[in-house]
């Protein structure tokens, strides 16, 4: 699977912005069928970072949201800036 097949778009709210700054996490809306392993592989290959952990949740409207925690050597704020969300 490729990036645009798994990652639909970055998800940013005030809460997510706090997580970017304090917990080194990013949030994405992903394909509902995507597994944590797929999400991790795509993020690592696309943004050239090391992913420590992926948490997913299904939103009330049926979308799947993934929180991706990056290794401390890779600041999430830098990736968010490259994405144009901050």
Complete domains list, the chain, with CATH: 3-83 (3.30.70.330)
CA dist list (Å): 44 to 8, 35, 47, 60: 16, 14, 6, 28
Mean residue pLDDT across the chain: 91
Task: Give 85's pLDDT tier (boundaries 50, 70, 90).
Answer: confident
Q: Which residues contact 77 (CB under 8 A, 6 or more apart)?
A: 20, 21, 86
The reported pTM is 0.88
The pLDDT of residue 83 is 84
Query: Tens of pLDDT along 37-76?
Result: 999 999 999 899 999 999 999 999 999 999 999 999 999 9
């Amino acid at each position: 699977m490729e990036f645009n097949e798994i990652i639909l778009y970055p998800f940013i709210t005030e809460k997510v912005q706090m997580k970017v700054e304090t917990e080194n996490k990013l949030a994405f809306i992903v394909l509902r069928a995507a597994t944590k392993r797929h999400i991790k592989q795509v993020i690592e290959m696309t943004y050239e970072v090391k992913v420590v952990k992926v948490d997913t949740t299904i939103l009330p409207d049926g979308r799947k949201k993934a929180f991706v925690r990056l290794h401390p050597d890779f600041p999430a704020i830098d990736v968010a800036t490259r994405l144009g969300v901050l």
